[in-house]
Amino acid sequence: GQVDIDMIAGPSEILVLADGKSNPRWIAADLLSQAEHDVLASAVLVTDCRTLAEAVQAEVEAQLETLPRRDVARKSLEDNGKIIVADNLEKAVEAVNRIAPEHLELCVDDPFALLPQIQNAGSVFLGRSTPEALGDYFAGPNHTLPTSGTARFSSPLGVDDFRKRSSFLYYDQAALCGAADRIADFARREGLEGHARSALSRKQGQS
């Protein structure tokens, strides 16, 4: 049989959530690792520290100079790059959930404490020593991930996406008769009398 997979997967995105203790050189490198993919790629830093934001911006400029794909990366950053300074980490997490990034790095002291607050992200990289490139090439689950904000309602590609399955229902007559009036009410509210009669016929025909 055939299985259809329907997911927006690309252009690539990274969002780095970083506190003031993070190394701006590392953060800049991680942002550029996605920006070099494609002029449509998106690289975003969200931080609660303006000093870090300014240091990362300077580092990005410096690292661009020696990056072989600097023209692509520069265009990506100019069109789609952002640095967002939030009042605190709680506000930063709100921004993350609104953006719903494909790749999310949590560059904070205790990333596992923040993880339960992350509602919308394709793949999460925990801690300062877990760059997104690790997931691209070496570790972790598969890397077909929701992009363009679709992490709000879809998930990374997984083995279940390749399984064809059916759902099953079974009511005995007593159970159906107990629900028939409610089924009919729903159906009639939609103007579907045939549906209502289908359920009610069992109730009327019970011995």
- Would you report the helix, strand and coil content of the chain in percent, each value rounded to 5? 45, 10, 40
- 36, 37, 59, 103: which one is catalytic? 103
- Identify whether 94 is a catalytic site residue: no
Catalytic residue, chosen from 102, 105, 193, 195, is: 102
Is residue 143 part of the annotated active site? The answer reads no
Rg (CA), the chain: 25
Contact 14, 132 (CB under 8 A): yes
10 Å Cβ neighbour count for 60? Answer: 24
Contact call for residues 162 and 2 (beta carbons, < 8 A): no
Question: How does DSSP assign 121-155, residue by residue?
Answer: -SEEEESTT--HHHHHHTSSS------TTGGGT--
- Annotated catalytic sites, by residue? 102-103
